[in-house]
Amino acid sequence: MGKVIPLAAQILFGALFLLTVPSDCVATGDAVEGRNKAQPCLTCHRKGNVVLGEKTPIISGQYQDYLVKSLSDYRSGARKHQVMNELTANLSDKDIEDISAYYSGLKSRLSNSNHDNN
């Protein structure tokens, strides 16, 4: 019986640990602000799997840190694409984090998009 409480305590602390760790790993960014800031982007990068053309990547549901990296690289010119370079030139770090938080939180239906996988 004496061992029951320590075990329960271990489970409890284990659960708390699991609950607290992810929040330390998640990138920051305000998805609500990001939604406003992303309005010009939605012309091309629409929600879900609706795309303008096959050369416009779907970014809904993409990992947030990937989006932050891509946008930072376009802004610095490390990644070259005229349209994206111009569109990111005036974004702040906070803008990039917010927009990335917004897009990464959108549902991606990439896995059942136009691939014929029936």
Hey, is 21 helix, strand or coil? helix
Of the candidate spans 4-12, 24-32, 41-49, 106-114, the one that interacts with ligand HEC by CB under 6 A turns out to be: 41-49
User: 7: exposed, middle or buried (C-beta count within 10 Å: 0-12, 13-18, 19+)?
Assistant: exposed
Min dist. Cβ of residue 40 to ligand HEC (A) = 5
**How far is 93 from 113, CA to CA, in rounded Å?**
32
Min dist. Cβ of residue 50 to ligand HEC (A) = 14
Amino acid making up residue 75: R
**How far is 79 from 77, CA to CA, in rounded Å?**
5
Of the candidate spans 1-9, 17-25, 56-64, 104-112, the one that interacts with ligand HEC by CB under 6 A turns out to be: 56-64
Of the candidate spans 2-10, 16-24, 34-42, 109-117, the one that interacts with ligand HEC by CB under 6 A turns out to be: 34-42
Angle at which helices 93-105 and 64-76 pack, to 10 degrees? 140
Instruction: Kindly tell me which residue out of 29, 60, 71, 75 binds ligand HEC, with binding defined by CB under 6 A.
Output: 71
Instruction: Kindly tell me which residue out of 30, 61, 84, 105 binds ligand HEC, with binding defined by CB under 6 A.
Output: 84
Nearest partner of 67 among 32, 107, 95, judged by Cα: 95
Residue numbers at the binding site for ligand HEC (CB under 6 A): 38, 40-41, 43-45, 55-57, 59, 67, 70-71, 81, 83-84, 87, 99
